[in-house]
Structure 1
């Protein structure tokens, strides 16, 4: 009996993807709303950003396409999330840095807030630097820092700035959407969150401030936002709301 049980246990271990490990993913209830929250330990997991397949130049467009691309190369996808806001041509609207290369430059144009969330200032940048540390900064502060990023996306608006909610947010706003965001709670701990139901900016910012313990947090996108976690599937917006993404954050299992 024991040898048979041992065989089954070993078979289960052998069936896991090489190098795969469970990420810190959990569902949190906060102020009557449910959220999916994923913590990425940059000392252990390698976070990357993807827009287009290098050989063909074609955008991945979806988390599933990125997952299949990884599998074809022996890379098992553990986590994915859509990145920053993009334009009508499905190109990043602001800074997009992949593996140290600036694909789209920083966008400091002051648009009309009525034209979209990116123009609801201040917007910001989430960056992972060559030394493995991450940070969320306003776009102006990122430019002033003058530090080259290894991976970066620009989106907006900022949810939190130095522990304070964006002053543009209204507590009882009727603008309710599925929303996703990110913060660097410490230089090596990145936190992604997506709402499981529509929420307004004020409520979403409070999640990062009061529940997740962040000081600077960036809104990524709304209505189409999803997180993918290996073994758990998708969380966030329902599938029929999702449209092609311009950038996708990913964690692949280390070999």
Structure 2
């Protein structure tokens, strides 16, 4: 079942709409979900410019694109240290910057099980970290974050129905066939349990991964979103 309250989508001048973004609601909470067809769209991660400096803002990502290309969707994509380097596993254009972390640690990242968002030419998958370590999939782009929101169709076992920890949150879920990636950001403060249920029950993604909370931001020009805020670490986006 999908309960969606959809805005009219505005196409970018001179460009076909690469990503479908819509405002939705579920169980009295409000979300924005951006749907990406992985097989046809150029979905990738961004962290540094050509000189190695961390980008940090959506406009900085766009400035790195060659002439004639545009950023049509972007979102923060994983946790980072004070110097904005990735906390966990990070791969960009096939080059690993940070190794996979499999042990327990502090904060939401260490609320095991956590996971990895893996992007390839024809599919994208959210994979639980220990499963990722066992199978060692090849990823053109990968970012590790945590906790997992949905694991093989079940909510993370440590999520509480009556939790009082509520923040604006964002994350990603992938379809079973890896052809569709759903990027979601809440428009009001939600608990982990509520956020996970949106992926499990509305989007019906077998696996979903939390990206972050307080710093959650979205760039979606189709619906006039370009959220201001803190400098970011890893960013996921679609280039057209």
Which structure 1 segments of 5+ residues have no match?
1-12
The CA distance in 2 between the partners of 1:22 and 1:63, in whole Å, is 17
Unaligned runs of 5+ in 2: 1-10
1:210 match: secondary structure: helix
**What does 1:81-230 align with in structure 2 at a 5 Å threshold?**
81-111=75-105, 115-129=106-120, 131-185=121-175, 186-230=177-221
Distance 1:95 1:208 in 2: 23
Q: Give the Cα–Cα distance (whole angstroms) in 1 for the partners of residues 97 and 64 of structure 2.
A: 20
Q: CA deviation at 1:199?
A: 0.4
Equivalent position to 2:60, from 46, 65, 80: 65
Q: Partners of 2:18 and 2:144 in 1: how far apart?
A: 28
1:45-60 correspondence to structure 2 within 5 Å: 45-54=41-50, 56-60=51-55
**SS in structure 2 at match of 1:246:** coil
Runs of 4+ more than 6 Å apart: none
- The structure with the largest helix share of the pair is 1
TM-score (norm 2): 0.90
Q: CA deviation at 1:22?
A: 4.5
**Partner residue in 2 for 1:5:** none
Q: CA deviation at 1:161?
A: 0.5
Q: Tell me how many residue pairs correspond in the alignment.
A: 229
Q: 1:245 aligns with which of 221, 227, 232?
A: 232
CA distance in 2, matches of 1:199, 1:226: 15
CA deviations 1:11-34 (Å, max 9, x no partner) are xx9x834x5425211111100011
What SS does the aligned partner of 2:100 have?
coil
